Structure formats: structure tokens, C-alpha cells
Structure 1
Amino acid sequence: MKCMIFSVAAGGGHGHAASALKEYILNKEPYSEIKILDTIKEISPVLDKVIIGSYLKTIQYTPSIFGKLYNFTEDEDGLTSYISSKFNQLMSIEVHDKIKEFNPDFLIATHPFAADMIGYLKRKKYISLPTIVILTDYASHSSWIHQGIDHYIVSNDDMKKEIAFKGVDINSIHTLGIPIKPSFFDKFNRDTTLMKLKLSPKKKTILIMGGSLGMGKISELFSELSTSDLDAQLIVIAGKNKNLYDTLIEISKTSILPSVIIGYTNDVNKLMQASDLLLTKPGGLTITESLASELPMGVFSPLPGQEIKNKEFLLRHNLAIDIDDDPNYINNINYILLNNHLLNTMKENTKKFAKPNSAHDIYTLIKKIIKAS
């Protein structure tokens, strides 16, 4: 198999999905050639710094602007969508050169920009290769949907209905989930993990995180929870956010609850398996990993736009509670932790939406499509 996967380094989920699928395919077919293209960076490193840098600053400091752009681009005929699409079409010429150079037999996109470029090339008949788009969230958005795309991979049946309603042939929409790396499914002993962190295996454990950037009101949550009367212990992941890590360390000095502060880590799967409740921003990758770990969630600080849609999905299916703007959120958390029936019900719900075989199922679909083309 020779495949190109187009991604964009805006948020971790798009790139992680691409890497996970590549790793799985190479495990199954070691002689395959799988190339991941960080699409904008590959075309122009300078442009990538401007676009991705602006994106990261926007979601950190002025997320409301990001939310407005999200809503504007939902309108396929709107000016914002038109400008975005024209920009992507201009860049697609460079992408076409990359495709010709690598000469793959299949194309995959894990970001809407890349999906737009590939769809344009297909519509204009610059390429005739089979194409798949993997949506890396839990609700649809028009920016993912483009004429010329042959197949769409979604994470849940709600999305399948949403996309079909927007005019996509339902037979081309596959509820196969978002791929995560095979190593994430390695099993770890909960008691061993907690004892290595000098925490008690007998206590309920709350894991707090905000993605690799450590975003959201993590320090505020930790400050309030660490001095509460919860019968629990806390693990907090700061990610790559050094300022957040330093703040959390300071707060931990006055913590009443047993607490552990961790910076960036590759052991998220181990920590999720050792926890009873995850408090997090509702990013697509984090949700996927949490569902795979059968871990109920409490969600906070969603980015306006996609993460709000993700939150709505989680609440609709009783996979999470909303801890934003709720003065009783500590009592609600305590109620869940003390109510084993409720906690187990939420865990059972995660099993309904987890897609642990996502990478395998996407690989199988690719093989089927290649064989038929």
C-alpha cells in the first residue's frame, strides 16, 4: 500500500489521527509506504508559522473570535467560507506537485483544509485517486465536506446523520471512529500506577488535563478541588504549559487532598486507566482516548465552536457532566464518585461510543476501496 495522509498542525488531534493510522498500517504491512504531509508547513514554512501561530494565539487569548469564524464557515455560501476555500485552492497546486512526486494509490485527509484541497483537485480532474476524510471531532462542520471526496469517516452515528442531511451520500459515510495509536491500548495495573505516584489504590482518583497545551481553567479547578472535602485524590497534567506547571506546584503546597502534578507525559493511557473521573476540555483526541479508557468525564472551558459541539454530544449521551458555570460542581462530582451505580452507568455508556478497532476498521475499508478501484 502506498498512501499519503494530509494533516495540519493546528491542535493535536489531526496529527495524532494521521500518525496512529500510519503506525497501524505499517504494523500490518511493514513494506507499505505511508507519507504524512503537514500540509501548510510543507507548502510554506513561513505561511505555516503565520497561520498556525495566529490560530494558537487566537484560541488561547481570544477564543470568541475563533468561535465566530467557526460559525461563519459553517455557512458554505458565506464570504468567510468562500475566502477560505479560495485560499486552499491556491495552495492545492503545490499539493498536487507533492502527490505527483510521491505517486500514491490512496489519499487521506485529517484536517478540513486538506480535505478542501484534495476535493478541489479531484473535482478539477487533476487527480483520480480514491480519497477518504477522517473527521477528528464528535460533531460535523461544513468545512469538512467537499465534492470530490469519496468517503467520510466519522466518530458516531449522530455525525453520520448530520453529514447525510447536508447532502453527502449516506453510503459513503462510515462510523469507524477516530484512530489512536495501538500502544494506547496497552493495559496497566491501576494499583501499581497509583502506588508509584504515592497515591492510594483505595481512593477515587480524579484526573485533570487540558490537552498538550494545558488550556482552560485547570489552575482554578485544582485550587478549588484541592481544598475541598472530596473523598478523592487528584492527578493534574499541565502538558507543555510551563507557567501552568509552576502555578500548580505552588497551589499543591496548600492542598488538603493528596495530589500529583505532572508536566508533559506520554503516559496518558496509564493515568486514564488509573482514574475514576476525567476533568478536561472536550477536544476530539482527549474524548477518543477517554472513551477508549472507559473513563467518564466532567468537561470545562470548551472552545467556542467545535468543542462546544463536542460537549453537547457528551452531555446528550450521558458520557460527561458539565462543570462550567455551575456553583455546585464540586457537589456534583462528589455525588458521582460516591454513587457507584451512576459511575458504572457512565462507564457502560463509554463502551457504546468507544471505537477501539478504529484503525483496523479504516485499514480494512482502505483495502476494500483499493481493490475495487
Structure 2
Amino acid sequence: MEAAAPKILILYASYGEGHVQAARAIMDSLQRIGSCEVQLLDLMAESHPWLNNLTKFVYMQSFKTIPQLYGWVYNITRGMQAKSAFGSVLHSFGMRQLALTLDKEKPDLVIHTFPQLALPVLRRKLGMKLPIANVVTDFDLHGRWLHPDIDRYYVATEDIQQEAAQRGIPIERIVATGIPIHASFYPMSMSVEEAAKPQHTIPQPISGTTTLLIMAGAYGVLSGMLDICQRLSQLPQLRLLIVCGRNQQLKAELDALYAGHPDIYTYGFVDYVPALMRASHVVITKPGGITLSESIASDLPILVFKPVPGQELNNALYLEQKGAALIARTTEELIQHCINLVSTPSLAAEMKQSIELLRKPHPADQIARDILHQLVDKTPSIWTN
């Protein structure tokens, strides 16, 4: 009799789009490679809906209005221990809902793409032998991700792998796969149906013209967008693709300003970011881990504008140190970076060389194969329980 396909539960949170995008990328790979049965669960939303809405609101507002305070809290807790009083409180949310889900679904393995780690304590309480994996979705390592009872870690880089080991995680449990993104960022992985999809209103390349992709984030909160676009629109031989996310007001204002402009294209919330990136030469973006990973996969030099203190600033600083990104803290600095990249091809070429060193092939597939290798092939297991 053929063995049943593994059943896997992926826990995420909807603070921004990154955690759910990572969860969906892993789900797609597990289903495609291993025919797994995969369930996604927004644990905080299901277990504490009122508190989830409140904390999401506070999270978004802190980015907009009190970023320095958010960054201070992030950095002062970056070295937290999972079993400290603070860590125990953070990881206690959702335990009852999670117990009900485990009893109903009986998964073979649980994956976190957000560091809400109620499961290790629950597993001990229930005496379960249930493997747990964490997928870290930034180029920075906050202590919330680290727990001695997590069986496997998938991280963005070898640097994070080494840092996690230095902070007490056995290095054999940590794999530098890269951050999981959708398979469509790798054209060879696209299905015939995906490849045949219309390219919407994405312009074709023009010789001598640099295409600049501006990503305002899922909620369109990139600071100073109207001023940035106005300044960039005055530069010669530059075409702008502007993604406003769910910020309908921003898109409407840009449409009113640039209706009929031959070199400015505006978009709302789109599901064809891979095609937009393939049509571009440079990207301006918020430094979320997923978008940065998508840009790296697309071989795009990265300009980061006014990164918010916390994981986004730390992401940006890491990529800047590696030579893959440039940080601009003022509009004037951003415009100058754009001028330099357009006028000095060697600068963009150097950044692309740095990007190549960071690129990981098919992170979601790597994660899926590693998990399936242990669960299905019955080789000596990485799982400690």
C-alpha cells in the first residue's frame, strides 16, 4: 500500500504580507514536489481576533508615526531568550487554538513563518513527537525566532546561520536556504500556463532607457512617494513603474498627475511582481525580507528609501554592507543614487556581482525537499523528537 502524503501545518501572521507570502511559497513547493496536504493558519487572527486587529493597527501606525520607538523596542529585545519571562509571554498567545487545530488536523510537521512559538511548550505539555521548523523571513535575526526546542531552522544567509549557532542553536539544525519566494521568480520553474499569461501593461525594454521599479509596499506606505515620483519624472532616459499596493488614494493621485505620460506606469496591488521585476533595471523599495529576496532573485540593484528602524533597517544595512543595496535617507540622496546608477554602468554591474553572491536557487523548493527528505525518505532524521 502506498504511504499517505505528509500532512503539514504552516503557521503565519498577517502583519504585512511577507509572512503569508513565505507560507504560500512553501505550501506551493510542498504540494508540487511532495504532493503534501498543507494547511495555512493565521494563529493570532484565529485565536485572538480582537487583539490581532489591535496589534496590527499599532504595528502599522508605529511604522508611520513613531518608527524610532518601534526600532528601539525591536533592538532592545533582539537578544531576548525564548524562556525568559518576556519570551514566555510572547510565545503563550494562541496555545488553546493551536491545541484544537493539532487535535483536529493531526499534522506530521509544523512550520512557522512568524515567530509566535506557542508550539514548543504545547508539545512538551502534550508529550507529542511533532517536528517543528522555523523559516526566518528577514536578513536579520531577532531572538523571537530562536527556541531550543525547534528542530530545524531555514535562514536567509550563512551569516545568519553562524549567528544562530553562536546564540546557542546547534549548527546542524540550521540551513541557509534563502528566504522562500514564489516559484514564478525563477522562469524555469514556471508552468506553461503561467508563462502564457498576458504581461498586462508592462512596457517592453527600450534601448538607452533605464526602467526603475518603485515598490511602495503592500499597503503603499513608502514615505514621500509623490515627491519621489515628481523628481524622478524630470530625469531623462528614465521610465518609472510604480506599484502603489492597496493605497488607492496614492494610485489615484499619481494617475491624475501622470495620465498620458509615456514613461510612467502606475499599478495597484498586483500578482505579477516577477514580470515587473524582469522588465526593470533598478528597484526602489521598502526593505522587507520578501521583497528584498524577490529583488535579489531578479538580479536588481536595490535602493532603499528611509528604512524604518527595526528589522527593515537591519535588513537594509546588511545588504548595503554586502554591496547589494544603497540606502537613501533623504529624497535628494535617493535621486543622486538613481542618477549615479543610470550614468555609471559599472556601479550597477558591481551591485549585480554582489547580488549574485547572495542569491540562493529556489529557496522554497530547497526547504520542501529538505523536509520531505526527512519525513518521507526515512533517512537518519534531523528531528530531535
TM-score of the two chains, using structure 1 as the length reference = 0.90
Which residue type is aligned with residue 165 of structure 1?
Q
Q: Percent of pairs identical after alignment? A: 28
Q: Is the 8 A contact 2:186 2:362 kept in 1?
A: no
Q: Please list the CA deviations of residues 34-92 of structure 1 after superposition, one character each: whole Å capped at 9, or x if unmatched.
A: 1111111121322322222332232233323322321232242699x734632532532
Aligned partner letter, 2:226: S
Q: How far apart are the structure 1 equivalents of 2:332 and 2:50?
A: 45
Question: How far apart are residue 326 of structure 1 and its match?
Answer: 6.7
Alignment of 1:127 with 2:128, yes or no, is: yes
- Paired AA for residue 284 in structure 1: G
Report the structure, 1 or 2, having the larger helix content.
1
Residue matched to 2:62: 58
Matching residue of 1:363: 368
Distance 2:57 2:18 in 1: 17
Amino acid at match of 1:318: G
Residues 1:103 and 2:83 aligned together: no
Please say if residues 305 and 334 of structure 2, whose CA atoms lie closer than 8 Å, have aligned partners that are also in contact: no
Partner Cα distance (1:362, 1:78) in 2? 24
| 1:231 aligned residue | 237
Q: Does structure 2 conserve the Cα–Cα contact (< 8 Å) formed by 1:120 and 1:147?
A: no
Instruction: Work out the number of aligned pairs and report it.
Output: 365
Amino acid at match of 1:47: L
Equivalent in the alignment of 1:346: 351
2:3 maps to none
Report deviation, 1:3. 0.6
The alpha-carbon distance between structure 1 residues 181 and 84, as it changes in their structure 2 partners (threshold 3 A), is same
Aligned residue runs from structure 1 range 1-373, under 5 A: 1-30=6-35, 32-76=36-80, 82-83=85-86, 85-113=88-116, 116-124=117-125, 126-186=127-187, 197=203, 200=206, 202-217=208-223, 218-227=225-234, 229-252=235-258, 258-325=263-330, 327-370=332-375, 371=378, 372=381
Distance verdict in 2 for CA 1:11–1:84, change over 3 Å? farther
What's the secondary structure of 1:21's corresponding residue? Answer: helix
Greater shift, 127-136 or 179-188, is seen at 179-188
- Give the partner amino acid of 1:248: L
Q: CA deviation at 1:176?
A: 0.5
The CA RMSD over aligned residues, in Å, is 2.6
Instruction: Confirm or deny: 8 A CA contact 1:112 1:143 kept in the other structure.
Output: yes
CA offsets per residue over residues 162-216 of structure 1, 9 Å max, x none? 2112111111111001111223323799xx9698548745411111112211112
Query: 1:271 deviation in Å?
Result: 0.8
Query: What stretches of structure 1 of length at least 5 have no aligned partner?
Result: none
TM-score, normalised via structure 2 length = 0.87
Residue type of the alignment partner of 2:373: K
Question: Is the 2:203–2:279 contact (alpha carbons within 8 Å) kept by the matching residues of 1?
Answer: no
Matched residues in 1 for 2:259 and 2:247: separation? 19
Structure 1 residue 329: Cα displacement: 3.6
Q: Distance in 2 between matches of 1:36 and 1:271?
A: 27
